Amino acid sequence: MAKLHRAAEPDVLKPLLDRARLTPDSRERVMDHALALLADLRAAQTRGWVNQFLQEYRLNSSEGVALLSLAEAFLRVPDPETADLLIADKIGDADWKAHSGKSNSVLVNSATWGLMLGRALVGDEKTGALRRLISRAGEPFVRQAVGAAMKRMGEVFVMGRTIDEAMKRMKKPENKGFTASFDMLGEAARTKADAERYFQAYFEAIRAVGRDPKAGHSISVKLSALHPRYEVAQYDRCVPELTDTLAQLASESAAQGIPLTVDAEESERLDMSLDIIGSVARRPELKGWNGFGMAVQAYGKRARAVIGWADDLGRPMHVRLVKGAYWDSEIKRTQVEGLSDYPLFTRKAATDVSYLACARDMLAARNIVPAFASHNALTVATILDWAGDSRDFEFQRLHGMGEGLYERLVNEQGYHCRIYAPVGGHRDLLAYLVRRLLENGANSSFVHQLADEQLSEAELLADPVEKIAAVGGTRHPSIPLPVELFGAWKNSGGIDLAERFILAETAIAIASKPLPPAETSAPTDVRAAIDRATAAFPGWAATPLVTRAAILDRLADLLEENRIELMALAVKEAFKTLPDALGEVREAADFCRYYALQARTGLAPITLPGPTGERNELRMEGRGVWATIAPWNFPLAIFLGQTAAALVAGNAVVAKPAPQTPEIARAAVRLAHQAGVPEDALVLVTGGPEVGAALTSDPRIAGVAFTGSTPTAKKIATSLLEGDDRPLVPLIAETGGINAMIVDSTALPEQVVADVLTSAFRSAGQRCSALRLLLLQEEIAEGVIEMLRGAMELLILGDPADPRTDIGPVIDQAAYDKLMAYRDSAKAQWIKTVPVPATGLFVPPTMIRIDRPEDLTREWFGPILHVATWKAGQLAETVARVNAKGFGLTMGLHSRIARSAELVEAEARVGNLYINRSMIGAVVGSQPFGGEGLSGTGPKAGGPHYLHRFCAERAVSVDTTSAGGNATLLSLDEGGI
């Protein structure tokens, strides 16, 4: 099963197509039944508020997206000023008038009228009778109306705010004949307190449902809500703890005599989930209880194998088959991690095929009690045909969706249908459910296609087997394999560290690689190195551009072939964790391939326009010998990125790594020579500041590429101007920054906390781009801080070679002493710190409160995060205060208000702005990296303008009339003597 989810899509689909295919006779029966179900569904569209809402405001319309985006954020905004900005942002530009009176629903039409009023007040309409009419009511009127609408949406999507309210609602006439699977749903746990709260909610819900066992209701639980570190790297800790936690819930369910189902998670957690579910299923105290169950996602390539696994457990298992809930995020993760193939199907029809094949297996299984969660009339009709007279299964649908599909089956034909019923506060739960709709391509689902009156019955009920067979089961053409993500250049390959056995193998392999003994270069070696590079420059510059580019491509291949050795050096010399070490090698390879492509397309000679009888050409050529000076925090990626750029532009290079990390640089240079770079065209010198000074002060150096501290960059800039006879040479400098993240009250706290932990503490805070200053809007500050405190408690500091480690030591004693001295000086302002191992250079991750942004005056290069607040309505002023610091490397913004993002984009004076994501991990060619002001000179590394800075631009103009004239002109058959 482990390798199946990386197999090619056609190979996985081939057996599924055979299993899902209908015979001609059954196809006719199924179509007849599906048409009847479709008629019931269409009739129900006039009844359900949500159905009519989705008909009028489809998710692929700007108004539909605007409404759901408003619903995602509005209820969690505590302050009126930001709420008004959010409303204006989401409804101020949409064309609500076009929807006026169009729906059969009075409620939908009323909502549309309210939105028209809202737009008139908060939109761009500054005059008119309607504006004048409602302007007296002011913004509170609109805010209250929107709040009421959002609460109404909450009632539609959420069964009840409490389990008692949800059970009471299930007794209403519209739910007659149906049972419920209640889910105390919410975000995944970020802290121990979150997990404990979710556990208590589940436990109390089990007891509440148990008070009325005849109702037949059940409970669904989400494992990621029960443990804040439900991650493969934390397997040894989280799996035993989660097994015990789930067993407690299962035991209570067994005692109450009600079913319990474990919901599905992302594919990277599948093996862990199966280990936990399998362990609980085999518990002797649960023998004889037949209510245990699990959900299986049909969009996963392993879905059918999981069905077989569940059947082989040797005990009755309730299996709920769903299409899947994390499609977009699964696709993105696979691309970002550079993995070999997707764990899921890339076409909706392929998921439908998988669903049918799994359904057929479930109906034939010995130990599975099937539950089919679907809103698709064709799927339901197919399952009914295959099941024949059997009633030993149930259907499931989401609360608020799919009304009409099952009522006749349940109340007239004796089938069983369960409603998946979310339970919880609207503020948190509505946001979660709406995100599922927004993030997972829900507009392509059957329910949303049903709302499209232009789709015929034949299109709605098209056979997915025929659709997939017609394209040979191939991957969707708009979703390239990760290696092909960037099209023109090959994306670097990753290692699937979310696979437990791969993670273990990688850790063992890295542990087996010894660190070579250190070598040093004396300052006197520098002159000899420059002598060699100077002599090699003419020959290397004369090497054809395509040859130099091909050498970089070969170097990228060699980096990936020697990935484990290079990762081991990064772990043992630079104290990088396994994910960071992998990222180091991938980024180095990406630099090489990207610069090879840029050289081919951007450094070739350009013919320029001019008068007849004249040839004009612009050439980009090497300048001479470049010095590249790299930092210890990216000892391979930045070291090789700077060097590869200089080389492919036709320069010879003397490369100096940081004194802390010479061995990984030495390995990189060996591979570069192996790839074809002449040994004298790339010369390595190692040592400390004296070696760097000797290098940059030599007048033969034609340019310097430096990454490091701002003070050192200034010293280098000064040294390049010394000496009357020294040429003016370029300096490319990328330095540090006081990098700020601004968070407003529309932001999702759980997402903010995850991104803050990554941005501030990953790599022990030793990244140029790392978050140093967190600026929280006052109204949400304490809540976010409290969640951050809890999340920080879970960070694991230790040996970076240990897969469990989140944060390793800082680079050396000098860095440790400087950081600890500053940290101790600010002890009175600590918000949170965490314990560290007794030995080693571990600086405790620390959160420090400051009164205002101006109190942070310098960059502290380590796991130290400063927190200040800002007032609602002062976003522009807050950005200006950050700009005033003079640094300009990275900035982050967390906000659901598009106009706020536009404001920050316009006003921020930074090289890299990150919105609603972490602030680290710039991708070559996708997010060119580099700052301005005190943070660097540009151009941006990994960007389209970088290589030109390494070149001398030379224009050549030739008068061809003096050597025979313009032959093309002479050949024209116009006029003549």
The contacts of residue 185 (CB under 8 Å, 6+ apart) are 222, 225, 422, 423, 424, 429, 432, 433
The contacts of residue 360 (CB under 8 Å, 6+ apart) are 19, 20, 386
Give the model's confidence band at 117: pLDDT under 50 very low, under 70 low, under 90 confident, else very high: very low
pLDDT at 59 over 80: no
| Residue 37 backbone phi and psi in degrees, to 5 | -65, -40
pLDDT digits 0-9 by tens, 692-736: 999 999 999 999 999 999 999 999 999 999 888 899 999 999 999
The contacts of residue 793 (CB under 8 Å, 6+ apart) are 191, 192, 832, 834
| Alpha helix ranges (H) inside 397-453 | 407-411, 426-439, 446-450
Q: Tokens representing 823?
A: 């940290």
Q: What mean pLDDT comes out for the span 579-589?
A: 98
- Considering the entire predicted model, what is its pTM? 0.93
pLDDT digits 0-9 by tens, 420-453: 999 988 777 777 777 766 655 444 566 666 666 6
The contacts of residue 242 (CB under 8 Å, 6+ apart) are 223, 226, 227, 230, 276
Q: Tokens representing 206?
A: 């089990």
Give the model's confidence band at 757: pLDDT under 50 very low, under 70 low, under 90 confident, else very high: very high
pLDDT at 967 over 80: no
pLDDT at 102 over 60: no
Mean of the per-residue pLDDT values for the chain? 90
Cβ atoms within 10 A of the Cβ of 486, count? 20
pLDDT digits 0-9 by tens, 903-950: 999 999 999 999 999 999 999 999 999 999 999 999 999 999 999 999
Task: Write down the pLDDT at residue 126.
Answer: 44
Q: Among this protein's residues, is 734 annotated catalytic?
A: yes
Inter-residue contact 757 to 195 (CB < 8 Å): no
CA 402/CA 434 separation, integer angstroms? 16
Output 735 or 62, whichever has higher pLDDT.
Answer: 735
Question: Please, what is the Cα angle at 418 between 415 and 419, to 5 degrees?
Answer: 140
Percent of the chain clearing pLDDT 70 (strictly above): 89
Task: Write down the pLDDT at residue 125.
Answer: 46
CA 555/CA 538 separation, integer angstroms? 22
Q: Which of 573, 768, 859, 951 is catalytic?
A: 768
Task: Write down the pLDDT at residue 58.
Answer: 60
Cβ atoms within 10 A of the Cβ of 508, count? 10
Sign (positive/negative) of CA torsion 445, 448, 450, 453? negative
Element (H, E) at 682: strand 682-684
pLDDT at 498 over 60: yes
Residue that the structure tokens 């789930």 belong to? 246
Burial of 801 (0-12, 13-18, 19+ CB in 10 A): buried
Q: Among this protein's residues, is 951 annotated catalytic?
A: no
Q: What mean pLDDT comes out for the span 339-344?
A: 96
Tell me the HSE value of 567 on the side-chain side, using a 13 A CA sphere: 24
CA 165/CA 942 separation, integer angstroms? 55
Inter-residue contact 187 to 432 (CB < 8 Å): yes
Task: Write down the pLDDT at residue 134.
Answer: 40
Sign (positive/negative) of CA torsion 78, 84, 85, 86? positive
Dihedral-angle region of residue 677 (phi above 0 means left; psi in -120 to 50 means alpha; beta otherwise) = beta
Q: Which of 407, 663, 734, 859 is catalytic?
A: 734
What SS3 state is found at 473? coil
Q: What mean pLDDT comes out for the span 367-373?
A: 97
CA 805/CA 837 separation, integer angstroms? 12
Long-range contacts of 607-610 (CB under 8 A, 24+ apart): 608/955, 610/957
The contacts of residue 855 (CB under 8 Å, 6+ apart) are 866, 868
Output 41 or 607, whichever has higher pLDDT.
Answer: 607
Give the model's confidence band at 568: pLDDT under 50 very low, under 70 low, under 90 confident, else very high: very high
Q: How far is CA 578 from CA 14, 236, 556, 571, 572, in A?
A: 37, 17, 20, 7, 11
pLDDT at 251 over 50: yes
Task: Write down the pLDDT at residue 99.
Answer: 54
Output DSSP code: residue 419.
Answer: E
pLDDT at 523 over 90: no
Dihedral-angle region of residue 147 (phi above 0 means left; psi in -120 to 50 means alpha; beta otherwise) = alpha
CA 628/CA 639 separation, integer angstroms? 7
Inter-residue contact 107 to 49 (CB < 8 Å): yes
Task: Write down the pLDDT at residue 65.
Answer: 72
Q: Tokens representing 802?
A: 């240990």
Element (H, E) at 306: helix 303-311
Q: How far is CA 810 from CA 47, 307, 545, 615, 921, in A?
A: 63, 47, 41, 58, 19
| Residue 486 backbone phi and psi in degrees, to 5 | -95, 5
Q: What mean pLDDT comes out for the span 637-652?
A: 98
Amino acid at 159: M
Q: What mean pLDDT comes out for the span 295-310?
A: 97
Inter-residue contact 20 to 360 (CB < 8 Å): yes
